[in-house]
Amino acid sequence: MLGLSGGELILIAVVALVLFGANKIPTFMKGLGQGIKEFKKASGDVQNELERAMHEEPPRRPSPPPAAAQPAPAAPASAQPAPAPKA
């Protein structure tokens, strides 16, 4: 557990009792437990998402368009400028 012996844990508990009082310790421990629970849930969700992403196939890139084998379409006759009138 963090390398603490039994005596050190008792000392920490006594210091917490003196600092926070007997009434606040259960509330403090409840909040600590809920925080640890939320952290474990979040880390599990991240781990599951990473595993799912690793097993998923990567998205396929669209194939490039074929080379310009066809000639470009000619402009319609109405789009060509009218010849200048002769003087």
**Residue 24 pLDDT level (bands cut at 50, 70, 90):** confident
Closest by CA to 12, choosing from 20, 37, 34, 33, is 20
The larger pLDDT score, comparing residue 55 to residue 38, is at: 38
**Spatial distance between the Cα atoms of 86 and 71, rounded to a whole number of angstroms:** 34
Q: Which two tokens stand for residue 67?
A: 């080379």
**Residue 69 pLDDT level (bands cut at 50, 70, 90):** low
Q: Which two tokens stand for residue 35?
A: 């925080």
Domain range summary for the chain, segments of one domain joined by +: 22-57
Its pTM stands at 0.47
